[in-house]
Structure 1
Amino acid sequence: MTRQKIEIKKIDNPTARQVTFSKRRRGLFKKAQELSTLCDAEVALIVFSTTGRLFDYSSSSMKQVIDRHNLHSQNLHKFDQPSLQLQLESSTYAILSKEMADRTRELRQMKGEELQELNMEELMRLEKSLEGGLSRVVQTKGERLLNEIDALRRKEAQLTEENLRLKQHETGINTNVQGHSFNTFICSSSGDNSQDRESSNTSLKLGLPFPS
C-alpha cells in the first residue's frame, strides 16, 4: 500500500498526537545530528511537549550554543540601530517621498484623474484652482500673441524701408545709364558729320563727282 500524506493540522486525538510527537521528535533530533556531523555545524534544539516536558539536543554544549546565540543577537541589534545621520536622512527621504506623492496626486487630479476620493469641498477647491490657472494661461497667451504681432509689424516696416531704398537705388542707376547713352549718341553724330565734310572737300579738289 502507498503511504498516505498526513494533512498538516493539529491532531485532535491526544493519544495519536502524543505518538506522532514522539516519532517526529526522534526524527527531528536524528536530522539535527546528521546536519551537525555532515556539515560540522553547531546545532541545538529545545522542544517542550504539550505536557510541559523538556526535550533537547545539542551537538556540543547547550549552554555554549545558547551563549553564542545571545551574543550574536546582541551584535545584530547593535548593527540594526542606525546612526543619527542615517536617521535624519531616512526622515528627510520619507518627507520628500510623501511630498512627491502628494504633488503627483495633485497633478493627476488637475488632469481629471483620481477624483473619486475627493469630497465636494475638495472638488470645489480644485475647480477654483483650475479656473485661476486657466485665466493666467489665457492672459499669458494674449501677451505672447501681442508681442509676436508687434515683432511682425516691426519686421514689416523694416522690409518696406529696405524695399524703398532698393527702388531708389535702382532709379539712380537707370538715370546714369540713360545720360551716358545720350552723350555717346551726340559724340557719334558729331564724328559722322566731320567725316562727311572731309569727303566732300576731297571730291571737289580732285574734280570727282560729288557723292549724293
Structure 2
Amino acid sequence: MEPSSTGQTKEKKKKRGRVKIARIEDKTSRQTSFSKRKSGLFKKAFELAVLCDAEVALLVFSAAGRLYEFSSCSSIEKTMKRYQQVSCPKKEATDENDGRTCSSSDLKSLLLEISYWANQENLEQLKVDELAKMEKILLDALSMTKSRTVKPFISHACLFKDFLW
C-alpha cells in the first residue's frame, strides 16, 4: 500500500492471475465458468460479425448435451452449407482403417449413441457387453473424427512447413 498526499493509504489493484487450463472438478464452478465463458464467446462472435462484416456461425454443446448456437446471417444452416461448399465440395470422410465412407447420418447416429452413453450415471453397473459396445462406438467415432479433422490439417501443415523452411 502506498501513502497518498492526504496521508491515507491506497490499495493496489489486484491483477488477474493466469487461469490453469484443466478440467474444473467442482460441478457448480464448472457450470458457472461454462456459462460465463459461453456468454463471452457469443459476445465476441457478435462483435466480429458486426465490426468486420463477417459471416459467423457458432455451435456450442454443453456437457449435458444442450445446443447453443449463434449465426450472424439469417440461419446457421446457410452458413454451414456455404462452409461445406468451400471446404470439401461433395466429399465424404473416408475411414482409412477399413476403406468405408461415413455419411453425415452415420455420424449423427454415432453422436446420439455417444451422448446416451456419456450421460449414464453409473458406468460401473454396466455389463461387459454394454461396455464393449460403448468402447467400439467411441473408437469408431474417434477414427471418423481423426479422418475428418486431423488428416486435412496434417496435409496443410506439410504445405506450410515447406513454405516456411
Same fold (TM over 0.5): no
Which one has the bigger strand percentage? 2
> Could you say which TM-score interval applies, normalised by the shorter chain?
0.3 to 0.5
Which one has the bigger helix percentage? 1
TM-score, length basis structure 1: 0.35
